[in-house]
Amino acid sequence: MGLLRLAFDGFHQARARLGEYLSAHDTGAHAVAIPAAETIYWACVLDEQLTSNGGYKTVRGRAIGDVMRGARWVRNRATHALPLTVERTGGLSLPLQVPITIEPVVVRWLRADRLPPEPPEYVDAAGRTAYDKTFADRPVNDPVEDLAQWFANEHGRRGSRLRGM
């Protein structure tokens, strides 16, 4: 139960830090990249700890399999290739063009084709597809909140190893 608790707490603490960085008005993608990667790291560790229970894996596959697979894919990209996996978009930029529209500033996950390629021995085409489907071009917090909601549901599921925490 010790590693499971560590992963559960790590995910929620990293998610809180990500929220703090996202709410800071002058935060750029570089500042958000660290808590975003950390949050995804802990989500994957928590998922891996829970996967030892066959019932969890079956339920997860139906409910949030693509998001978790996308999270694992970007976690591997972030830890092995050390790319910046997010970018800040929107705001005012020069030169101005008429008509002027100012998009809100948002930090988004990059598309897979903008990240370094996987080494040939670690290609995960299904993971890349899942990432593009569930993370790419979305605000950083959106898939993180999907994961948080999943873990909250799992926490309440009868038979879940999270239920006792």
pLDDT of residue 71: 95
Label residue 143 exposed, middle or buried (CB < 10 Å: 0-12, 13-18, 19+). buried
Higher-confidence position of 18 and 57: 18
What six digits make up the tokens of 73?
Answer: 């894919």
pLDDT in tens, 80-138: 766 566 666 666 556 656 666 566 678 899 999 998 888 889 899 999 999 999 999 99
Please state the pTM of the whole predicted model: 0.85
Average the pLDDT over each of 1-5, 31-35, 69-73, 135-139 and give the range with the smallest value.
1-5
pLDDT in tens, 43-59: 999 999 998 766 788 78
Phi and psi at 108, nearest 5°, equal -120, 155
Whether the pLDDT of residue 39 is over 90: the answer is yes
Contact 141, 19 (CB under 8 A): yes
